[in-house]
Structure 1
C-alpha cells in the first residue's frame, strides 16, 4: 500500500516537472551532468568498458571524450523523456521531423504493413510519439513491461498520447494477426537484451559476440511486412530528424537470420557515425555465448 502511494506521488512529481519550460529543464540537465559523471559516477565503469570493448582502436583520450559527450546527452534524454508526459503535439511535431514520410505513404498505398526497427539511440521515445503523425493506419510500438504495474500503465499512457498503440512484447504477434487486414505499422527496438532464458542467438556487433532477440525477424517473416530502419539524428539540443531506409521488401524470401544480421549491422554503422548518442550505460554484454546451453 505504502509502495503504491509512493509510486503515485512519484508520477505526480514527474508530471509537475514536465510542465516546466524547456530552458528550465535543460538547465536542470546541465546541473545533473556533473552529478552523474563526477559525483555519483553513475555506471561509469560500465560505460567505459562498453566503449573500450566496442572501439579497441581508439585511444583512452578518445574513449573518455565519447564518454563525456554520452553523459551530456543522457542528461538531456532524461529531461526530454520526462517532458514527454505533457509535451504538446505542436512541440513534438516541431522538434522531431521525419525527412521522408512518402516512404510510409507509398507502402501503405500498396497495401503493405510495415515493421520499423530502431535502437536505443538519440531519443527513441520522441520518435515513437511522432511516428503516428505520418500514417492514418494503426501504429504499434513494442515495449518491455516494467516490473511496477503502476509505472507500466503510466508510461503506456504517455506513449499513447498521440495515437501510438503500446503492445507488450509477448503479445505483439497476436495483436498483428488481429490487425492483418488493416496494414498496421509496428516499431521495435532491435537492441534489447534478451533474458538468460531467451538466449538463443548471438551475432557480431561492435566487435563483440552479442545476444539478439529474433522477434523482429519472426514478425516480419510471419506477416511479410516491409522492413524499415529509422535512422535518427540529433540536429541540436532538443531537435531531431529521422529517416526511413528499406531493408527488405519481401521478408518471406529471406534466409534465416538475414533480417537480424542486417538490422544489427545498420545500427552498428549509425553508432560508429556518432557513438555518443547510443545508450552505453545499458549492460548490453552481460551474457556471453557460453551462457547458452545449445549455441548456434
Structure 2
C-alpha cells in the first residue's frame, strides 16, 4: 500500500517541483484562501498562540499576523516541494548565506558543532550551507511513515551534502563520528514542544511559564564538547531569504545545565519578534504549559 501511494502521489509532487516559482506561489495563494477562509486550518490554534506570545497586541493586529502566517505557511510548503528539483545555482540566488567565517574558524580547530535554529521563515533551505563548508552535515528529523517518501526525502537532502538522521539514531551516529574524529555539523530545530514524558526541563517561551523544552542539543554539546551555533533566517521578499549565524558558545561545558537551552530560546524569541508573521504558529507550542505543576499537585495529593 505504501508503494502504491508513493506511485500515485510522487509524480504529482515532482511535476509541481519543476514549475517556476511564480506559478508555485500562485498555487500557494489558492491554497491559502482555501485553508484560511474555507477550511479554517488551525485558525484557533494560530490565534491562541499569537495571543499568548503577544498579549499586548490588539485583535486586529493578531488577525493580521495570523493571515500573513497562514500565507507564509503554504509558501514554505511549496518551496519545500521545489527542493526536489531546484538547481544549486537557483537556490544560491534565492538563499543568501552570510557570515560563514564562524564555521571556517571551527574547521581550523577541527571542532564539530551543533547548529540550532527554529521553524521560522524557510528553515529547510539551510541545507545549502553544507555546500559552502567542509563539515559533514547531518540534520535531525522525524522519519516519514511511508518508507518510499522517506527515502526520497533523504535523497533530496543528500544533493546538498546533508545526511538526515532520525532522533532515535542521532546519539549513535555522533558517537561513531566522534570516535572516528570526523568533523561534523549537526542541525537541530528545538523550538517545538516535546512530549511531556520526555521533558527534562521546563522553561518559559514568550513569557509563558512552565513549558517543556527540548534539551538534547545542549546535552550533546556538553557531552562531546561541541561548539553551539544559532542560525537566523530572514525573509527578504517572497521566495528569497538570507541566513546569518551567531555563536552561542564554543565552550559548552562552562555553562550551568540548561543555560544554553535558555539562551537559544531567547534568540528564537528575538527573531520572531522582528516579524512574527513568518513563524510557524500552527504548532501547538503551548499545549503542555503548566502540566509539570499539575503532576506535582497530583503527586502531593496521592
Equivalent residue, structure 2, for 1:150: 148
Q: In 1, are the aligned partners of 2:107 and 2:134 still within 8 Å (CA)?
A: no
Q: CA deviation at 1:36?
A: 1.2
Q: In 2, are the aligned partners of 1:200 and 1:294 still within 8 Å (CA)?
A: no
Whether 1:117 and 2:116 are equivalent positions in the alignment is: yes
1:170 to 164, 168, 171: 168
Equivalent residue, structure 2, for 1:238: 239
Whether 1:186 and 2:186 are equivalent positions in the alignment is: yes
- Structure 2 unaligned regions, length at least 5: 298-302
SS in 1 for 2:200: coil
Equivalent residue, structure 2, for 1:251: 252
Q: What is the TM-score with the length of structure 1 in the denominator?
A: 0.94
Q: Which whole-Å CA distance do the structure 2 matches of 1:184 and 1:77 have between them?
A: 27
Equivalent residue, structure 1, for 2:219: 218
Q: In 2, are the aligned partners of 1:140 and 1:187 still within 8 Å (CA)?
A: yes
Task: Please give the residue correspondences for 1:42-121 in structure 2 after superposition, counting only pairs within 5 Å.
Answer: 42-121=41-120
Equivalent residue, structure 2, for 1:278: 279
Q: CA deviation at 1:145?
A: 1.6
Q: Which whole-Å CA distance do the structure 2 matches of 1:75 and 1:145 have between them?
A: 21
Q: In 2, are the aligned partners of 1:69 and 1:276 still within 8 Å (CA)?
A: yes
- Structure 1 unaligned regions, length at least 5: none
Deviating more after overlay: 20-29 vs 281-290:
281-290
Q: In 1, are the aligned partners of 2:201 and 2:258 still within 8 Å (CA)?
A: no
Q: CA deviation at 1:4?
A: 3.5
Q: Relative to structure 1, is the Cα distance of residues 179 and 205 closer, same or farther in structure 2, using a 3 angstrom cutoff?
A: same
Q: Which whole-Å CA distance do the structure 2 matches of 1:214 and 1:255 have between them?
A: 13
Q: Which whole-Å CA distance do the structure 1 matches of 2:7 and 2:215 have between them?
A: 35
Q: Which whole-Å CA distance do the structure 1 matches of 2:9 and 2:212 have between them?
A: 34
Q: Which whole-Å CA distance do the structure 1 matches of 2:182 and 2:165 have between them?
A: 16
Q: Which whole-Å CA distance do the structure 2 matches of 1:277 and 1:270 have between them?
A: 10
Equivalent residue, structure 2, for 1:24: 23
Q: In 2, are the aligned partners of 1:118 and 1:189 still within 8 Å (CA)?
A: yes
Q: CA deviation at 1:83?
A: 0.5
SS in 1 for 2:80: helix
Task: Please give the residue correspondences for 1:261-276 in structure 2 after superposition, counting only pairs within 5 Å.
Answer: 261-276=262-277
Structure 1 residues 219-257: Cα deviation after superposition (integer angstroms, max 9, x where no partner):
111111111100100011111111110011100111101
Q: Which whole-Å CA distance do the structure 2 matches of 1:69 and 1:92 have between them?
A: 24
SS in 2 for 1:25: helix
Q: In 1, are the aligned partners of 2:196 and 2:212 still within 8 Å (CA)?
A: no
Structure 1 residues 110-150: Cα deviation after superposition (integer angstroms, max 9, x where no partner):
121111100101111111x2111121220111111223323
Equivalent residue, structure 1, for 2:157: 159
RMSD across aligned positions (CA): 1.6
Structure 1 residues 16-56: Cα deviation after superposition (integer angstroms, max 9, x where no partner):
11011111111111222211111111110110011111110
